[in-house]
Amino acid sequence: MQSKVTEKHGFGEKETVQEVTQACEGTGIIQGALSGVNEQAVGAAKEVSEGADEVAATEITGEIASEEGGEVEAFDKDAARQEINAEDTVKKVTANTIESLVMEYIPKVDILGFPIANVDMEETVAAVAMAIESGKPGEAGVVARPESGTGAGAGPAIGRHSMRIVTANAEILYHAYADSKLGELLHSADLIVPDGIGVVKAASRLGRPVKDRVAGVDLLWQLAAWAADKGRSIYLLGAARESVAGAAVALQVKYPALKIAGMHDGYFDKAEKERILQEIEEKRPDFLFIAMGFPAQDRFFVENRGRLPVGIMMGVGGAFDALSGRVQRAPGWIQKMNLEWAYRFAQNPKRLGRIWALPRFMMAVRRQKGREKG
């Protein structure tokens, strides 16, 4: 059964960038990006079409003139071939820029200097789907892999231009604000979504409210649903062995069609790390979910990015513990009251040290508001 998000934003296998953008129209997100991509694609296609027709006509004329002993001024077959090949270049440029356009036109709000995406869950999944669907084997910035087969290695995956998502709560934002190196790490993410009521409240206090909270564990479920529906694959890395294995079982039970390319816990030495990287290189999953907590999960990806031919990387913190049932998530009514943080603290009082980041975060937001008022 498709999720609500999958039903609304399932795009299928599109053959052209135009088809992808058309499928995304009406989602309510990134209208500027959609129009930008369409304008670029249509303009480029027109130029290529006109150029190709002109070159073809000139080449035919040249062949006829040659047969008749005549001449065609300034006719250069090599140049003509290069001009016709421009069509491939345009396709590559358009495919590569669609993701950057998507990211550029997602509305964002400034919280402590970090661009937090002003999107809800459905819009986040739509943006991720759009980025994934824009990649095709062999195009610039896209890792080519076998078209045949139905295993985890089949189909396209974005390589050098893979997209990194951070689901940022108040704790992550505060530590990134207080530590410049962590700040650089957070700024290097492609998409930062508001995970945590603290971030939502901060945006409202600054006078630029976000649409909704995008909880990391919920986003993981939704992306897994989309991946299962579209034949995409995922790789799970991090947490304890029981947690990652339990998370894989939970996802497979809920989405039987989901392709789980592989999994490994978050406890490994140098030799095991090499084996993990080799497996990911071989399997080329579309999604890599890393549950090591911020900043470890993001550092792992950034430091090894050249060897991680994945489409989407998302740090999921303690999500595997929740999916596996090893840590009980707050009941729905507590989540609706925005007290999930208190429930987690009650389950694990050792989190007290981490909870202190919340008031520090709100104080920093208060200072930001004061500076903006001038």
Average pLDDT over residues 10-31: 42
- Cβ-contact 275, 245 below 8 angstroms: no
pLDDT at 374: 75
Q: Are strands 157-158 and 142-143 parallel, antiparallel or unpaired?
A: antiparallel
pLDDT at 209: 96
Paired tokens of 128: 């991720």
DSSP letter at 86 equals H
Answer whether residue 149 shows pLDDT above 80.
no
The more confidently predicted of residues 291 and 340 is: 291
pLDDT at 84: 45
pLDDT at 345: 53
Spatial separation of the C-alpha atoms in residues 103 and 158, rounded to whole Å: 15
Spatial separation of the C-alpha atoms in residues 352 and 344, rounded to whole Å: 10
Paired tokens of 137: 């084997």
pLDDT at 254: 97
Average pLDDT over residues 69-97: 46
> What's the chain's Rg over C-alpha atoms?
24
What is the distance, to the nearest Å, from the Cα of residue 266 to the centroid of all Cα atoms in its chain? 22
Residue with tokens 């989190």: 351
- The percent of residues in the chain predicted with pLDDT above 70, rounded, is 57
* Neighbouring residues of 272: CB distance < 8 A, sequence distance ≥ 6: 264
Spatial separation of the C-alpha atoms in residues 255 and 227, rounded to whole Å: 9
What is the distance, to the nearest Å, from the Cα of residue 333 to the centroid of all Cα atoms in its chain? 30
Answer whether residue 291 shows pLDDT above 50.
yes
The more confidently predicted of residues 343 and 174 is: 174
Across the chain, what does the average pLDDT equal?
74
What is the distance, to the nearest Å, from the Cα of residue 132 to the centroid of all Cα atoms in its chain? 7
- Cβ-contact 89, 12 below 8 angstroms: no
DSSP letter at 306 equals G
pLDDT at 316: 97
pLDDT at 101: 58
Nearest to 280 by CA among 257, 258, 264, 296: 264
Average pLDDT over residues 149-176: 68
Spatial separation of the C-alpha atoms in residues 95 and 267, rounded to whole Å: 37
Answer whether residue 10 shows pLDDT above 50.
no
Answer whether residue 102 shows pLDDT above 50.
yes
The more confidently predicted of residues 39 and 374 is: 374
pTM given for the model: 0.68
Average pLDDT over residues 253-268: 97
Question: Residue 313 — φ and ψ, nearest 5°?
Answer: -115, 130
- Cβ-contact 287, 258 below 8 angstroms: no
List the beta bridge partners of residue 143: 157
pLDDT at 134: 75
Residue with tokens 């479920």: 221
* Neighbouring residues of 71: CB distance < 8 A, sequence distance ≥ 6: 65
The more confidently predicted of residues 280 and 32 is: 280
Average pLDDT over residues 356-374: 91
pLDDT at 331: 62
Average pLDDT over residues 11-33: 42
358: helix, strand or coil: helix
Answer whether residue 182 shows pLDDT above 50.
yes
pLDDT at 42: 44
Answer whether residue 17 shows pLDDT above 50.
no
Point out the least confidently predicted range of 161-165, 229-233, 254-258, 302-306.
161-165
Question: Across 17-31, 112-126, 144-158, which has the greatest mean pLDDT?
Answer: 112-126
Amino acid at 143: V
Dihedral angle over CA of 262, 268, 269, 271, nearest 10: -10
Burial 96-125 (b: 16+ CB within 10 A, else e): bbbbebbbebbbbbebbebbbbbbbbbbbb
Nearest to 297 by CA among 182, 199, 213: 182
Average pLDDT over residues 46-64: 44
Answer whether residue 344 shows pLDDT above 90.
no
Spatial separation of the C-alpha atoms in residues 24 and 31, rounded to whole Å: 9
pLDDT at 44: 45
Q: How many helices (H) and strands (E) does the chain have?
A: 18, 10
109: helix, strand or coil: strand
How many other C-beta atoms lie within 10 A of the C-beta of residue 234? 26
pLDDT at 240: 96
Spatial separation of the C-alpha atoms in residues 303 and 53, rounded to whole Å: 47
Residue-wise pLDDT for 200-241, tens only, equals 999 999 999 999 999 999 999 999 999 999 999 999 999 999
Point out the least confidently predicted range of 49-58, 297-306, 362-371.
49-58
**Sheet of 191-194: strands edge to edge?**
191-194, 163-168, 312-315, 287-291, 233-238, 259-264
Nearest to 219 by CA among 150, 272, 165: 165
